[in-house]
Every structure is written in structure tokens, then in C-alpha cells.
Structure 1
């Protein structure tokens, strides 16, 4: 793949996402301007006019937040309708996880995502499970509620402020439905429409999706990747890695090698995956670079290789994921083994332990602590 083609492949989905978010701002801006203009003849002060303006700006952001909740609720509702069971529900960094038949509150931040509803899939029947309604349920719910708000607009049409708010809710709902429902690779993640499209292309992608969801279920039960069935982590071929859902299985295979402490094998496979033309999403790719850096640090610890791994984009990503366990583990190891800064390393370890208290997957915390211990032991032997 040429440099020009690769750049186009990476940039245009981000551009589309930005345009759609700008569309929300533009539509809401026109609605706000129209409301203020229609009330300009009234005897109101500049202060009241500014208060109205900023109130409607706040309403726009509240509308986005409400539709985010509606969207994730759509995945939950349509998932339950098609045989899935509840696993976790996240809005921003606030997460509710089913753990030992109880719903517990946790915290998790994932770059590029405003929320996520993960569910346990039904058993495969002839290699198939229903996927379209679960994946597109969020967009369907945004459209359904958008139509409801449209109906409420006509009900409250005689009340200018309320009718403007209703139209904002309509606009936000429809734009978010398009943003998530029309198949697009959004840079760091794939949207719901693309996932549904990828799953419909081949049965192997469908099974990979099933494995991904089942593995998540096992993590909520405190089971580590290394203790899950071997057949879930078969390494896809280079050609298979071009499907985004199958690529997740490749990522999981690498993560499992890290968990079994097969570092040389993991490093070799991750390096290969990062070099080939694959459909690994940006989030997984950046986290894989973190794992590569860790393997390098506890291995040959070559400064030139580490410099190549820690690009400006990678550093920016790690800052956006500063509360994620594997990112903190990598930063801790780098402080110990590359910078040889014990004070900085100890500070990162404190952050890790704080994060660990509310992290939804305790088995991953256990695994990360072991990796940090290996880095610490390595620093003592230098």
C-alpha cells in the first residue's frame, strides 16, 4: 500500500465523523438563532438574551448525552430481544457490570467511545447468532426516539422554547443514528454499522465476534485469558486479519501470549500484525504498541526501538488512556527500565492501584500486577 493510499484510508473516516458532529452544532445553531430572532421583537434585555442563548447551548450538550444513553439502551433492548444477556453498560467512564449475579458500579475510560453496552451472546447454532439487531439497536433507538421528539415538537409548537428543544433532540438523534448506523471506520474504532457489515461477510467473523463477547463475559467472572479455552485464541492468517472482527481474535491471541508470559512469541506476532495491512482498529493497535514496548523494555531494551514505538501519536493516545491498566503498566516499566526514575515509577504505581479499585475486570489487574513485578525485578538486576 502506498503512502498516499494509507493516509487517505486513515484520515477520511475521521473527517466524516468531524463533519457529522459539526452538523449537529450547525443545525442546533440555526435553531437557536431562529428562536432568538423570532423573539427579538419582545422587550427583553441583552442579559436575558445571552442567558437564553447559553441555556440552549447547554440543552444541545444535554441532548447529545441523553441520546448517548438512548443509543446504548438500544443495544441492550434489541440484544435482550434476540437472545443476548446483560454483561455491562457504560456511559462515558461510568460502568455497571454484572458480577456474580449482582450489578456493580465500576469506572472505565476508552478513547474514542462515549459508551458501550456489552452482552453475552446466545450459543452458536450452525455457526450463527443474530447480530444485526444487537449491533444496530442503538441507531434504531435514536431514530425511534427522534420520531417521538418530532411528535412532541408538534405538541409543543405553541411554546417556542420547548419546541426548539424538541427539534434539537430530533436533530441529534438522527445525526447520531447516521454516524453509528452507516458503515464507517471511525479511525480509532469501527462504528456499529461497520461491525454489522463485517459480521455479515463471513462465518469466521461471526465466530470471532462470539468469542470476543464470551471472553468479555469470562473476564467479568474473574477468569484470565490464559485460563480460557485454547480454541478461542487461534491466530488468524494475514488474509483473515483484513476482516475487522477476525482481527480482534488476532489481538486477543497476542494478549493471551502476554498473559501466559510468552513474551518473545507475543512480540514477534504483534510486530508482524503492526506491519501488515490489517483491519485492526486504532484503539487495539495503540494498545498493542504499548504491549510491544513492554516486551522490548523487559527484553533487549533498545532505545532506538523504543523511540520508534513511542511516536507523538502514541504518546498522545497514552495520555488519553492515562487510567487504563496496560498503559500504566507500560509507563511504569518505561520509568523503571528506560528512564531509571524510581520516584516517577512509584508515582505511576500509585495511580495504577487507584485505578485498580474501580476497574471492571479484576483478572486483568492481577495479570498487570504480575507484569509490573517482572519489570521491577528486571530493574533490580540491571
Structure 2
């Protein structure tokens, strides 16, 4: 059944791509030539089926090729503009391929975030958050897409092969779509686009502070620093949080995660329960993360019944989808095997697999934390064992 579903999904995607390609091609011909819609439809009725299939296939291929090129340019724009304003390189992701800086070398890892095609993360300059530049960093992607648009526009009037002109048309229309969806302020899956962030951060000291803290925490995690070993003042205050703002809500989540790393189970449980009480205001990605930690903390503090209630089919799918890129999901699965399923060999296998794959993860500080907690749960003695709160 799963093979049939995949086949249907692929065929549906191809059909959708064909419709998009044909629609864009039709619009381009009507807009950029003297041909009317009626004339174009008349020509379509007389066209050879083989030529039609070739033309539609080229349109789909042009669209498929345009997307990664434009996403790459968009993220490169953020990178260049960030570096020009004093930010430092942390990571650069296109789809799930991520380039990171580790020990002064660029490494490639796999990491993805639902709802995003790419992401450029930098460390903000060492200055007061009130003076931290944010406009050019956020506008960099839009600027890059605009430059690409103006660079390709002349191809519409230059003599060239019809397929080259078709690619130019589809590339331009796709680029315009990306420019509009990133420039017009909006939230997609609760996450603000570039235009939204430019407005939200303008003269907003609290928003800039939240962004700076988030970027610095991410950089340290990538460098292999555990949350408990980071300067406490780096985590900031989480008072008067706007839970509908992903930047702001990241601060109390980071503080709660630090308590988990310190193995202060009951304090961490209270912190995550407070966050979960605002579930309706928080974006789904963060709400799922909070639910995951509540399952773990409920199990480790002996409240198995609550963990079972939280561990829904939807949350199981979420954990399964992210376990290869987030080591925290392996920690949670280890706790489930140990305390919910009472299967210690399975829990030990999960730990052993994480040890084998630890270098594959992006956030090495998180990996070190998760391994230490799993060792504590399983009673594995290492030189790095910590004193923990009793359950």
C-alpha cells in the first residue's frame, strides 16, 4: 500500500507540474507576444501530440530547475548581506543539504526544517542589540532575487532557441512569485517571512534581542557546547513573552531546555508545562517540540499515564520524521523504550545507534547533552556523568 501511495503521489506531482508549466507558458506567450488566448488555443488544437508533450515536459523541467537556483540565490543574498554588516558564518542550508563551519573547516551535513526550502544562519556582531543591524540581513534574499530577475529579463527580447526563451519566461515568473512571497509581510506556518521580519525588527529592541540570543545559542550548539555550559546570561529573560512570536517564544524554550540538560527534571517539567499552556498561541513546530519534551519529562518523573496521553499518533510521526536530524528525538525514544515499554535492550540499542551516528548531526552540543542524559537513564558510567535530581 505504501508503494501505491508513493506512486500516486509522484504521478500527482507530475500532473500538477505539467499544469503549472502549461499555465505559465500560456501566460508568458499571451503577455510577451501579440498572440491572443483564442489564437493560442486554436494553435493548441492543431499541434502535434508529440510536440505538445515535449513542450510541456520542457516547461516542467524549467520550473523544477528554477526552484533550487532561486532558493540558492536567495540564501546567498542573506549570507552576503549578513557578512557585509558584521555577521559571522554559522551554516548555509539548501533543502536538507547544510554547509557548516566546524574547527575552521566547512563540512556538509543533512538537516531540514519543515516549511522551509533553505536557511542561512549567522552569528550577530558583538554589539548592543539596540544597534544590531537587521534590515540588510533580512532583505538580502529579496535583493538577490531582484538582481536575478533583472539579469534574465533581457533574454525575453534577445534572439535565442525557443526552449531557452521558455526557460527564461518560467524562471522570471517563478522568481517574481518568490520575490512577492518574501517581500509582502506574512506568516507561513506561523513563521514570518523576510518582509514580516524587516517590519517586526525595525526599532524593536526586544525582537532584536530575541533574534540575537537565538542565533548565538544556535552557533554554540553547533560548535559542540552543551546548554548547561553556556553563559547563563546568554539565555536572557523570558518575562512578558509574546507566544505568537516565534523569536520571542524561543527564549523560554531555550531556558527550559537548559534545565533538561542540567537534569533538573521537575523544574524543567514545570517550565515546559507553562509553555504548553500557551499551545494555541505557539507555532505548531514549537508546540510539537514542547510536547516531545513533556513526554520525556513525564516518563522520567514517573508519570507514565500523562506521557501515554501526550504520545499521540501525530507526535509519533513527528518524532519519526525528525529523529535522523535531531538527536533529542533519540533521547525521547530511549525514554519511551525504557519507561513506557520496559524494554531495556531496545533502549540500549537506541543509545548505541546514536553513539555511532553522532557525527552526522548538525547541533553537536545537543548530541552531547542527549548522550549524557541517556547514559544517566541507562546507568552507563562514563567520566562525564553528572549528579542528577532523583525521581
TM-score using structure 2 length: 0.81
Of the three residues 203, 206, 210, the one matched with 1:204 is 206
Distance 1:314 1:25 in 2: 35
Distance 2:353 2:188 in 1: 30
Tell whether the 8 Å contact from 1:111 to 1:320 is kept in structure 2 after alignment: no
Distance 1:308 1:91 in 2: 36
Of the three residues 226, 240, 249, the one matched with 2:228 is 226
Of the three residues 142, 147, 160, the one matched with 2:145 is 142
User: 1:83-98 residue pairs with structure 2 within 5 A?
Assistant: 83-98=86-101
Provide the residue aligned with 1:31 in structure 2.
24
Give 1:97 deviation, angstroms: 0.9
Larger displacement relative to structure 2 (61-70 or 226-235): 226-235
User: 1:1-382 residue pairs with structure 2 within 5 A?
Assistant: 28-32=21-25, 46-125=49-128, 127-156=130-159, 158-187=160-189, 189-200=191-202, 202-276=204-278, 280-303=282-305, 305-323=306-324, 324-342=326-344, 344-345=346-347, 348-349=350-351, 351-353=353-355, 355-377=357-379
Measured at CA, do residues 39 and 302 of structure 1 come closer, stay the same or move farther in structure 2, by a change above 3 Å? same
Give per-residue Cα distances to partners, 1:274-312, cap 9 Å, x unaligned. 212786433222212211111111112322x22332234
Distance 2:240 2:202 in 1: 20
Distance 1:346 1:58 in 2: 47
Q: Report the secondary structure of 2:139's partner residue.
A: helix
Distance 2:336 2:115 in 1: 25
Give 1:185 deviation, angstroms: 2.3
RMSD of aligned alpha carbons: 3.1
Between the two proteins, the alignment pairs up a number of residues equal to 356
Give 1:119 deviation, angstroms: 0.7
Q: Report the secondary structure of 1:173's partner residue.
A: helix
Tell whether the 8 Å contact from 1:84 to 1:121 is kept in structure 2 after alignment: yes
Give per-residue Cα distances to partners, 1:255-281, cap 9 Å, x unaligned. 111111122111111111121278643
Distance 2:271 2:129 in 1: 31
Give 1:199 deviation, angstroms: 2.0
Please identify the structure whose Cα radius of gyration is greater.
2
Tell whether the 8 Å contact from 2:94 to 2:117 is kept in structure 1 after alignment: yes
Structure 2 unaligned blocks of 5 or more: 1-15, 30-39, 381-389
Structure 1 unaligned blocks of 5 or more: 1-22
